[in-house]
Structure 1
Amino acid sequence: MRSAAADPDDLTARARIRDAAILRFGRDGFRTGVRTVAQDAGVSPALVLHHFGSKQGLREACDAHVLATIAAHKTETLGPAGADAVLLKMAQVESFAPLAAYVVRSLQDGEGLARGFLESFVADTRRYLEDGVAAGTVRPSLDEAARARWLALSGIGALLVHLSLHPVGPEGLGPALRAYADAAALPALELYTQGLLTDPALLDAYRRQAGHAPPGAPAPTPPAA
């Protein structure tokens, strides 16, 4: 597994334990016990607790390492893509595959790394959209932050539903992510490039109700005295 940086700690028993835990948690989930992780790492359970204090401490160390690794390699290796595309690319690179499985498990679990991972992709999505608006390739939004959050969370939510309905098989996470990407590509691109509704009436009605009148709409009549 790649490290986020050239760190001497990566040669220690602590790093071996952490990497073994990432691999095992990604495969079997977070109910896996310390004893199993210790066996995978070739150390005693007591040494795991010596380095991390508890199973929760071990998971926090795994979370931090996974997020740091993604952050270090995302721009140069993964590029401006949605969460599903990033996870697919990670799963298809042997050294990143355990991290992709760990992220999916965390998202399904809803704790730990999940919030940090989601927030990082919301921020990335907003940056990519703003770059597109500046370049003239993306339409401006009434609320750039809200649009970015909705797109990021919708994409990840759809991915998690797909993985719940199509559990990962013995061949690993890569084929499951590829099947999702293949199924989603056409409808997603059609929706993003051509839109869905031909009449803006629903949006206009919502903006009026929310107090944000559409351009050109008459000003609301003030209440009678």
Structure 2
Amino acid sequence: MRSAFPSDDLTARARIRDAAIARFGRDGFGVSLRTIAQDAGVSAPLVLHHFGSKDRLRAECDAHVLATVAAHKEDAVGPSGPDHLLVELAQVETYAPLVAYVLRSVQHGGELARTFYAAFVADAEEYLRAGVAAGTVRPSRDEAARARLLTQQAIGGLLVALTLEPVDDPADLGPRLRAHMDAVALPALELYTDGLMTERRMLDAYLMYVTDPPAGAPSPDPRPTS
């Protein structure tokens, strides 16, 4: 599987970016460029040479994290199928620096965080659409709304878990992430696969209530009832 930080990506620019992702995730976006330079084993002027400012460095961190997460999601939902997803779950600790960065970005707020979150939603919509086309995901009456909900649940669930049981030592984040995934994997997969309700009265009542139901709504649930 891919690593969060590929071992063959060892240029000075990549080392600075990876050090910034790890440091921003641990301590927030107020850390100095000098601290990031020390983590990367380079001089502070070299950081400015490559990125020009902390905002531009953070923008590159955003792009790298988004690209890495998108690649993992595409593999898990796409042609590789469930077997690949199990491999990804077994290696979940390797995502700890990326997870910390994502959560820190959302907590920090601001325009960069909104852009970051919007990109996650767009990515979720894209891989769900691919899953629908491949026949592994059911279609939705509102694909964009479903992508937003799943993104909010994923990020929000982690924020709640790590807020209620915070991690003081960065080395503990990987095991904590593993514990969270172990706790939610079965109920989440069960819910997404089998559903929650045994009949559709609440959905039908809602569709009658809204004045402008989504266009192209799926036909009634084709699953057999018992």
1:14-33 pair list within 5 angstroms: 14-33=13-32
**Corresponding pairs, count:** 200
Which one of 114, 117, 120 corresponds to residue 117 of structure 1? 120
Identify the residue that residue 166 of structure 1 maps to in structure 2.
165
Distance in 2 between residues matched to 1:51 and 1:183, nearest whole Å: 41
How far apart are residue 38 of structure 1 and its match?
A: 1.8
> Is residue 74–residue 127 contact of structure 2 (8 Å, CA) maintained in 1?
no
Taking a change above 3 Å as real, the CA distance of residues 26 and 199 of structure 1, as seen in their structure-2 partners, is same
> Is residue 88–residue 174 contact of structure 1 (8 Å, CA) maintained in 2?
no
1:54-69 pair list within 5 angstroms: 54-69=53-68
Return 198-207 or 67-76, whichever deviates more. Answer: 67-76
Distance in 2 between residues matched to 1:36 and 1:125, nearest whole Å: 39
When Rg is computed on C-alpha atoms for both structures, the one with the higher figure is 1
Return 47-56 or 141-150, whichever deviates more. Answer: 141-150
* Matched letter for residue 115 of structure 1: A
Identify the residue that residue 223 of structure 2 maps to in structure 1.
none
Which one of 6, 15, 19 corresponds to residue 2 of structure 1? 6
Identify the residue that residue 188 of structure 1 maps to in structure 2.
188
How far apart are residue 163 of structure 1 and its match?
A: 1.9
Question: Do residues 176 (structure 1) and 176 (structure 2) align?
Answer: yes
How far apart are residue 97 of structure 1 and its match?
A: 4.2
Distance in 1 between residues matched to 2:22 and 2:139, nearest whole Å: 41
Distance in 1 between residues matched to 2:43 and 2:106, nearest whole Å: 29
Over the matched positions of the two proteins, sequence identity in percent amounts to 55
* Matched letter for residue 173 of structure 1: L
**Cα offsets for 1:117-176 (capped at 9, x unmatched):** 343123223432x146x36xx554333343343233223322222122122343332222
Distance in 2 between residues matched to 1:43 and 1:27, nearest whole Å: 20
Distance in 1 between residues matched to 2:87 and 2:29, nearest whole Å: 22
> Is residue 34–residue 48 contact of structure 1 (8 Å, CA) maintained in 2?
yes
Paired residue secondary structure (1:43):
coil
1:136-155 pair list within 5 angstroms: 139-155=138-154
Taking a change above 3 Å as real, the CA distance of residues 63 and 89 of structure 1, as seen in their structure-2 partners, is farther
Question: RCO higher in 1 or 2 (8 Å CA, sep ≥ 6)?
Answer: 2
* Unaligned ranges ≥5, structure 1: 217-225
Identify the residue that residue 93 of structure 2 maps to in structure 1.
92
> Is residue 126–residue 148 contact of structure 1 (8 Å, CA) maintained in 2?
no
Distance in 1 between residues matched to 2:193 and 2:175, nearest whole Å: 27
* Unaligned ranges ≥5, structure 2: 221-226
Taking a change above 3 Å as real, the CA distance of residues 86 and 101 of structure 1, as seen in their structure-2 partners, is farther
Structural RMSD (CA) = 3.5
Question: Do residues 53 (structure 1) and 57 (structure 2) align?
Answer: no
- In the superposition, the TM-score normalised over structure 1's length comes to 0.70
- In the superposition, the TM-score normalised over structure 2's length comes to 0.69
> Is residue 19–residue 36 contact of structure 2 (8 Å, CA) maintained in 1?
yes
